Amino acid sequence: MHLTDEEKRMRDGVEGDAVAVAMDLLIRYGDALQAERLVATRNVAGTMTQPSPAKAKLVAEGGWAKAFAVMNLDSDRELEIPSMRVPTCQLQHGFGADAEGLTRYPADSIRLQEDAESYFTERGVRVLGTCTPYQVGNLPVLGEHCAWMESSAVVYANSVLGARTNCEGAASTGAASLTGRIPYWGNHLPANRLATHLVRAETPVEGFREWGLLGYFVGELVQEARPAVVGSLAPASDADLKHFGAATATSGGVELYHLPGVTPEAPTLEAAFGRSRIPEAVTYGSRERRATYETLNAQGESTEVDFVLLGCPHASLAQVQEIAGLLEGRRLADDVQLWIMLPRALAADALRQGWTRTITRAGGRVLTESCPAMSRAAPPGTRVMATDSAKQAHYLPAILGIEAWFGTTWECVDAAVTGRWRGELT
Amino acid sequence: MIELVGRGIVPGRVRAPALVTREPISGFGGIDVATGTVIEPRHELFGQCFTGRVLVFPGAKGSSGWSGFFQSTRLMGTAPAALVFDVITTKAVLGAIVTRVPTVVQAAPAPVDTIRTGDLVEVDGDTGRIVVIRTDGVAVHSGE
C-alpha cells in the first residue's frame, strides 16, 4: 500500500507511540484489503466508552489507556493516548443513569461508562451517545470521506447523505481517530458505489412498517451488495429511510442503497447503475411481503406482551411526537413496560415539547444512550416483546432469549396499552 | 489430500478440525463470545462451538460489531483456530486481524464446497495454502 511521507512519519513514531501503533494497524488492515492507499478523513464515529466484561477487565488492569490500546488499536503495548487528531464521536453505548433500576443492567457498568466519558471527552471525543449521529449534529456532506461504524449509521451516511464510509469497527475507527486516515477501499471509490441489483416493489410501500419489511427483504436478497429500489414507493420520511437501511443491514450487510429520484447519487435509475447494464428486477410483491412479515414474526408465540421497544435506530423528534400522540390520555397495561430510545440531545427537545410528560404519564419511559440489543438487557422478567423495529425483532430473541413481535408503531402502542399483541398484515 | 490456495491475510500456521457453513455469520447477535458459540436461532450452525476449530464460512454479515466480537473471543480464550472465508468486507478482514488467527481468503477450489465439518485441515496464513489432511467430514467428497 502506498504511504505518503506524512503517513510514513506517523508509522515511524514521529507523532508518538499511539499514532505509530494506529498507523501500523491501518497498514495491516489496508494491505489485507488490498487497498492502494489511505484516504484522509475528518469524521470518525466509533465506540470506546461501551462497557463490556472484556473491557472492564482491561480497565482494571491498566485503565482506559489500556482498554483503548487493546480494543481500539489492537495493541498489547502500554500507550499514552493523546487527544483525537480529527473530530471523533462516540456512538451509542451502554445504558445511562436514566435506565438505572429499570433493568438488571449492572450499575457498575453505568459507573464504568461515566468514567470512560470523562477520560475520552478530555481527549476530544464528542459523546453523542446514539446510533444516529446524523440526527444530532454529525451530518457529513455529499462525497465526504468518513470512518464510521454502526451498520445502520453507515448505510444512512452512504445512501441518504452520499457520504463515503465503509462499515468500520472499533479498532479501525480508533486508529482513524488518531491518524485521520482510513483505507481507501470499498465505498470510498466511486466505481464501488453503483447499484448491483434492482428490486421493484409491486405492492405499495408506505409507512414505517412497510419500509422496514421492504428493507428486511432487500437485505436478505442482496446480502453485501448494492440494491436500487423502484416501484410503488410512497415518499419516505427520514425515519422511513433510517428504518429501511437498518433493516437491509440487519438481514444482509447492505452499506449503500439507491432510491432513484430520492437518494443523492441516483437522480435516475440509469445514474444508479452508471455504465453497467441495468439488471432484471426482482419483484417485491404481496407474496414476498407476507413471507418477510412471517419470517420476522416467527419468533413470537404468546400474545401476552410485557415489553414494548420503540426507537431503533434511535427515534427522531417526529417519531416521539407520533408516539406521544398515540399515548395521549391512555395508560399502559399493568406489568407492561414501554421504552422509547433516542439521543440525549433529542430527549431535551422532547421534554421541552411536552411529549415526554405525555409518555411518562401513560407509564412509558423515554431513555437515551443505548438500546436493549446494545446493552443486552431488557426489563427484568421480559418474556414477550413487541417492537416496530425489524432490527430489534431480529436481534433480541437471539441476544435475550425472548419472544418478539414486529409490527406498526400503532400496533406496538396498542400492545403496550392492552398487554396483547393484535398485530396483523392486511 | 486436497490443497486449496488463496491469499493469506493474517500470518501463522495451524492444524485443527474444520467447522463449515454456507451461511454468512453475524458477530453482534450472532455469536456468544464467552462460549465461542453461534447463537443466531435460524443459523445452520446454531448452538455449535467454533473455539479451536478452523471456521470456514462465506463471509460476515450484520452489525459493525463483527470485528469487536471476534476480537473478544481472543481476549476470552474462545477464538477459532483459524478463519477461512471468501467475501472480502471491512468487517471480516478487520475481524480477522484483531482475532489474530491465521486467515486465508478467496481460496480455490471454494472452501465451503471442498472442506466438510470435521475434516482436519492445516491453514497457512503466510502462504495462503489450506491443506485438508484427513477427511472426517459429514459428507463424502466428490472426485476424491
Task: Write the secondary structure of chain B as one string of H (helix), E (strand) and C (coil).
Answer: CEEEEEEEEECCEEEEEEEECCCCEECCCCEECCCCEECCCCCCCCCCECCCCEEEECCEECCCCHHHHHHHHHHHCCCCCEEEECCCCHHHHHHHHHHCCCEEEEEECCHHHHCCCCCEEEEECCCCEEEEEECCCCCCCCCC
A20 close contact with B: CB closer than 8 A: no
pLDDT under 70 in chain A at which residues? Answer: none
Please give, one letter per residue, the 3-state secondary structure of A123-152: CCCEECCCCCHHHCCCCCCCCCECEECCHH
Q: Which of B63, B64, B72, B142 is catalytic?
A: B63
Contact yes or no for A178/A18 (Cβ under 8 A): yes
Burial class from Cβ neighbours inside 10 Å (0-12, 13-18, 19+) for residue B144 reads exposed
Q: What angle do CA A304, A310, A313 make, to 5 degrees?
A: 140
Q: Which residue type occupies B6?
A: G
pLDDT at B63: 82
User: What is residue A275's DSSP assignment?
Assistant: T
- Asked if pLDDT for residue B140 goes beyond 80, the answer is no
Q: Which of B60, B65, B95 sits opposite A253 (nearest CB)?
A: B60
For residue B124, the cross-strand partners are B13, B129
The whole-angstrom distance between A315's CA and the closest CA on chain B is 19
Contacting B residues, span 116-135, partner chain A, CB-CB under 8 Å: none
Instruction: For residue B141, give the C-alpha cell.
Output: 467428497
B142 is catalytic: no
Instruction: For residue B139, give the C-alpha cell.
Output: 459428507
Instruction: For residue B36, give the C-alpha cell.
Output: 465461542
Nearest CA among A316, A354, A320 for reference residue A339: A320
pLDDT digits 0-9 by tens, B4-31:
999 999 999 999 999 999 999 989 888 9
The whole-angstrom distance between B49's CA and the closest CA on chain A is 16
Instruction: For residue A157, give the C-alpha cell.
Output: 451516511
A170 close contact with B: CB closer than 8 A: yes
- CB–CB contact A395 B41 (8 Å): no
pLDDT at A402: 96
Contact yes or no for B91/B1 (Cβ under 8 A): no
Specify the residue for cell string 414494548: A308
Q: Which of A58, A223, A299 sits opposite B24 (nearest CB)?
A: A223
Nearest CA among B62, B57, B67 for reference residue B91: B67
Contact yes or no for A291/A299 (Cβ under 8 A): no
Contacting A residues, span 192-221, partner chain B, CB-CB under 8 Å: none
Whole-number Cα distances in Å, A196 to A88, A273, A350, B48, B61: 32, 7, 40, 34, 18
- CB–CB contact A170 B67 (8 Å): yes
As a whole number of angstroms, the distance between CA A153 and CA A139 comes to: 11
pLDDT at B138: 64
Contacting A residues, span 333-362, partner chain B, CB-CB under 8 Å: none
Question: Which of A91, A187, A395 is the mutation pick for testing B, counting most B CBs within 10 A?
Answer: A395
Judging by DSSP bridges, how do beta strands B37-38 and B60-61 pair with one another?
unpaired
Mean pLDDT of B79-107: 97
A235-A342-A370-A132 Cα dihedral, nearest 10 degrees: 40
For residue A181, the cross-strand partners are A40
Peptide bond into A53 cis (omega under 30): no
Q: Report the sign of the C-alpha dihedral through residues A190, B93, A17, A10, in that order.
A: negative
Please give, one letter per residue, the 3-state secondary structure of A311-341: CCCCCCHHHHHHHHHHHCCCCCCCCCEEEEE
pLDDT at B142: 39
The whole-angstrom distance between A331's CA and the closest CA on chain B is 33
**CB < 8 Å to B98, chain A:** 74, 169, 171
- Asked if pLDDT for residue B134 goes beyond 80, the answer is yes
**CB < 8 Å to B59, chain A:** 224, 253
The whole-angstrom distance between A77's CA and the closest CA on chain B is 14
- A152 contact partners, CB below 8 Å, separation of at least 6: A131, A132, A242, A245, A246, A249, A313, A391
As a whole number of angstroms, the distance between CA A341 and CA A338 comes to: 10
Nearest CA among A30, A55, A45 for reference residue A156: A45
The region, left, alpha or beta by phi > 0 then psi within -120 to 50, assigned to residue A381 is left
Nearest CA among A280, A276, A284 for reference residue A231: A284
pLDDT at B143: 37
The whole-angstrom distance between A355's CA and the closest CA on chain B is 31
- CB–CB contact B67 A71 (8 Å): no
Contact yes or no for A373/A396 (Cβ under 8 A): yes
Q: How many CA atoms lie within 13 A of A61 on its CB side?
A: 14
As a whole number of angstroms, the distance between CA A412 and CA A273 comes to: 38
**CB < 8 Å to A192, chain B:** none
Please state the pTM of the whole predicted model. Answer: 0.95
User: What is residue A37's DSSP assignment?
Assistant: B
**CB < 8 Å to B64, chain A:** 149-151, 154, 167-169
Peptide bond into A313 cis (omega under 30): yes
Q: How many CA atoms lie within 13 A of A128 on its CB side?
A: 24
pLDDT at B136: 82
**CB < 8 Å to A395, chain B:** 28-29
- CB–CB contact B98 A151 (8 Å): no
As a whole number of angstroms, the distance between CA A358 and CA A367 comes to: 14
- CB–CB contact B9 A32 (8 Å): yes
Contacting A residues, span 22-81, partner chain B, CB-CB under 8 Å: 25, 28-29, 31-34, 47, 52-54, 57-58, 70-71, 74
The whole-angstrom distance between A352's CA and the closest CA on chain B is 33
Q: How many CB pairs under 8 A join A and B?
A: 106
- CB–CB contact B97 A29 (8 Å): yes
As a whole number of angstroms, the distance between CA A79 and CA A98 comes to: 33
**CB < 8 Å to B66, chain A:** 169
In the structure, what pLDDT confidence band is assigned to residue B141 with cuts at 50, 70 and 90? very low
Contact yes or no for A342/A320 (Cβ under 8 A): yes
